[in-house]
Amino acid sequence: MQPRRIAADVVVIGAGVVGTGIARELSRYDVRVVLVEKQADVAFGTTKANTALVHAGYDAEPGTWKARLNVRGNALYPKTCADLGVAYKNCGSLVVAATENEAGYLHELKERGERNGVPGLEVIPREQVIELEPHVNPGVVAALWAPTGGITSPWELAIAYAENAVANGVELLLSAPV
């Protein structure tokens, strides 16, 4: 079979949650975008095994693009999900320490997160962890509480991004390895 030639200003390779999100954002501008996926549908790769966590941004190295974009992206999730009809829950997140040594690392994560601009981070004691998460291992020592952490369905979000991008003029090519 002869390859099909397609004109595009931007080609996005991969229709997981990242690729579909990029395609959706680009669909807002006057550019011809083609989204290419080697699988039979969107969200068939890594996205289908994603943990669904919307990270608060405490783990990235301060000053990096990842740190800046993680915190900014986290703040966009509630509105983006609402706009696309995808469930989003701002439930916060816990990084649990099972030993005193691990508890010391929580303070490093908190400091890193604060340097990244993550609001509301707290290292909380065992009692407060159990109050927030009653089914946690009873051997818990402490936890880093990140109130801006959340969850969403990565595959539903990828599908919604792709549908919106296509509705806005993006061409989606499935079963199209590059």
Q: Name the residues annotated as catalytic.
A: 55
The helix (run of H) or strand (run of E) holding residue 122 is strand 122-125
Alpha helices in 6-135 (DSSP H): 17-26, 65-84, 100-116, 126-132
Quote the CA–CA distance of 92 and 131 in Å, as a whole number.
14
Q: Do 95 and 104 touch, CB atoms closer than 8 A?
A: no
Provide the CB-side half-sphere exposure for 100 (13 A, CA): 0
